Structure 1
Amino acid sequence: MRHTDFRERMAEEFGRLRAEMLAEDHVMSELGGRTVDEALEAGFSPKQVWLALCNTFEVPASRR
């Protein structure tokens, strides 16, 4: 998954504004206590981060 695809999926699932807020502010234990942006900067793949978001926010399998 490319970064642009990841950002688009986030916007589709959470809405553009909420997706931006989640990426900047929501710390997830599954990402080692990092936010989305921090995890991506630390080298996590967009797919890893997407799956962590899906698990955290219980996104149905059909939209993962």
Structure 2
Amino acid sequence: MPTLWIVIAVVVAVLLVVGWLYDRKFGFQGDRMPSAERRAAAEAHAWNTQHGIGGGDGSS
């Protein structure tokens, strides 16, 4: 169901933006979610997209 993947992607994107803004405003608490973890999550998402996992082609 590709629509589910779109909803998940939007929720993840919103959470990332909110987390980034929170990190900018309260930088001293930013070590709770290091940028390395964010980068790893982004790379995992990119890998999944490249390999057709949740690609929205109807196969999922």
Q: How does the TM-score come out when normalised to structure 2?
A: 0.34
Q: Quick check: which has more Rg, 1 or 2?
A: 2
**Which is helix-richer, 1 or 2?**
2
Q: How does the TM-score come out when normalised to structure 1?
A: 0.32
Higher RCO by CA contacts (8 Å cutoff, separation 6 or greater) = 2
